[in-house]
Structure 1
Amino acid sequence: MSGPISKILVVGATGSIGSHVVALALQAGYAVRALTRDVARAADLPAQAERVVGDVAHAQTLESAVEGVDAIVFTHGAQGQGKLGSEQVDYGAVRNILAALKGRTVRIALMTAIGVTDRTGSYNRSTEAHDWKRRAERLVRASGLAYTIVRPGWFDYQEAGQNRLVFLQGDRRHAGTPADGVVARRQIAQVLVASLASAAAERKTLELVAEHGAAQHDLDPLFLALQADPADALDAVRDLQNMPLGSEPERVRNDLARMSSSRLR
């Protein structure tokens, strides 16, 4: 179990989900630091949130961002930036932030996507976004840090009354459409923030969707019902084994080796 959390860094804080994370984390009593490339872009965030300038694509700009934080919530994304953006942002942000920690212990909440293990669908073939998000998940698992990984369904497709959160595992919904499941942005933020203080959420990976029913305020029973990821495994419990490490790019294997060795120092 990670130690008590008082200060959170939000990566992707000015985005449509990150801004909800900032607000909910402040409501929960956390001190919040918002990472942004441009302070002007963070003008609409609550005044209580600390702003820090850094670029996730450049590791040397991130040391001040991680200084003194107890937890990091990743809500960033490279939507529309193609294959290079997927590597530099979806994956690079996680690699660079973890490297900037220089072995310090923090709690991680990482948002990726439902269907992240679907390598053959048209979306992944054109963007490689699933592959790079999944590689980011692997870095988090290899780091040895306490974590929760949330793979949300489609945003903004929910109907009225779809307030009941459902946690799934195994990532078997690969339609590539809202049929895979839908969820509101604020609901995603709720789960990410709640995971930080939950011992039941540690080393858990889940797909998140919303169905018709009443909203839950205590999420611990949902986290408790999940299986933990196997110790020292790169992939989540019940995931498809369709990304062999030996077939991964050399630079990715090197990143994983560095991440694994850094936690043993």
Structure 2
Amino acid sequence: MPQMRNITDVLVVGATGSIGKLVVQAALDHGLRPRALVRNVRRAELLLPGVELVQGDLEDRASLRRAVAGAEALVLTPGSGTDARPDARRHVDYGGVLNTLHALGDARPRTALMTSIYATRTDVPGATPWKRRSERLLRASGLPYTIVRPGWFDHATPTQRRLVMDQAATADGAVARDQIAETLLQSLLNDDALGKTFELTAAEGPEPADWTRLFAALRPDAPNSLDAVLDPDDLPLTAEQPDLRADLELVRRAHQARA
């Protein structure tokens, strides 16, 4: 399997979450050096024994600047599920990605972002566009990226281990948490995953044996596009709030200044 050169230090954002913990373990299994961004160090020491912990908060850019320093790769698994604020998705799912991108400055780590299989869906009750907006920020940043949109966590049966990667923005289904984590980690290690966005589910069958083949079969996102290949054209930038358009413009300008 072709690997990205010089990836050793991987910062996992959302490292104490149900997926983030498994990403940390996957990084260890692949001989990488994971660092875990955590808000509560004492609690994290119990959840991630022996792992390097970096105290930080997705809503505190100063702490993020310290956390991302030296990271050669990032895995972003922000989740607002336990946050009771009515605008939690904006602050965490979207704002966490925005703040991380600003905190990076001139650094350009390889980045894997976990969003949702419903990121672009308007026909699903409870679905919101905040994760799709976070994806747009990452694409506008110019960072080398992969975006994984997993299906329902843990609703797959034990024999559903054959991973299915779709790009029609209409997929539905389930996938195990450990397979989500492994896919995020594998996307950092495989050149064929660069610049691609896909929905991830599992079907009856064995574990994947050829990650290169899986990633190579996917279509890349169009250059300079805010949306993924085959995404529906139903969230025009002109219809977005001025502050959201301003966020994108700042991220784009930062990328242009680095180019």
What TM-score range do you get, normalising by the shorter chain? over 0.9
Using a 3 Å threshold, how does the CA distance of structure 1 residues 259 and 133 change in structure 2: closer, same or farther? same
Query: Percent of aligned positions with the same letter in both sequences?
Result: 45
Provide the rounded CA distance (Å) in 1 between the counterparts of 2:28 and 2:46. Answer: 14
2:250 maps to which residue?
258
1:36 matched to 2:28? The reply is no
After TM superposition, give the deviation of residue 46 of structure 1 in Å: 4.2
Deviation digits for residues 46-101 of structure 1 (CA, Å, limit 9, x no counterpart): 44421011110121221110000011101120015354100000001100011000
1:51 maps to which residue?
53
| Contact kept? 1:2, 1:146, Cα under 8 Å | no
Partner AA of 1:258 in structure 2: L
Match of 1:16 among 1, 18, 31: 18
Using a 3 Å threshold, how does the CA distance of structure 1 residues 83 and 223 change in structure 2: closer, same or farther? farther
Calculate the TM-score normalised by the size of structure 2.
0.94
1:164 maps to which residue?
162
1:212 maps to which residue?
204
After TM superposition, give the deviation of residue 45 of structure 1 in Å: 4.1
Calculate the TM-score normalised by the size of structure 1.
0.92
Provide the rounded CA distance (Å) in 2 between the counterparts of 1:82 and 1:172. Answer: 29
Deviation digits for residues 208-260 of structure 1 (CA, Å, limit 9, x no counterpart): 00100011133110000000000000000000011000111111111110111
CA-atom RMSD in angstroms: 1.5
Using a 3 Å threshold, how does the CA distance of structure 1 residues 231 and 83 change in structure 2: closer, same or farther? farther
SS at structure 2 position matched to 1:51: strand
**Aligned pairs (5 A) from 1:143-158:** 143-158=141-156
Partner AA of 1:78 in structure 2: S
1:116 maps to which residue?
119
| Contact kept? 2:4, 2:188, Cα under 8 Å | no
Partner AA of 2:24 in structure 1: V
User: Please, which runs of 5 or more residues in structure 1 have no aligned partner?
Assistant: 125-129, 174-179
After TM superposition, give the deviation of residue 118 of structure 1 in Å: 1.2
| Contact kept? 2:139, 2:224, Cα under 8 Å | yes
- Answer with 203-212 or 153-162: which moved more: 153-162
Deviation digits for residues 92-135 of structure 1 (CA, Å, limit 9, x no counterpart): 110001100012111110000001111353203xxxxx311111
The runs of 4+ residues in structure 1 deviating greater than 4 Å are: none
Deviation digits for residues 17-58 of structure 1 (CA, Å, limit 9, x no counterpart): 100000010111111110010102212344442101111012
Partner AA of 1:253 in structure 2: R
| Contact kept? 1:2, 1:106, Cα under 8 Å | no
**Aligned pairs (5 A) from 1:1-265:** 3-80=5-82, 81=84, 83-124=86-127, 130-173=128-171, 180-265=172-257
How many aligned positions are there? Answer: 254
- Answer with 203-212 or 47-56: which moved more: 47-56
Partner AA of 1:223 in structure 2: F
After TM superposition, give the deviation of residue 3 of structure 1 in Å: 4.7
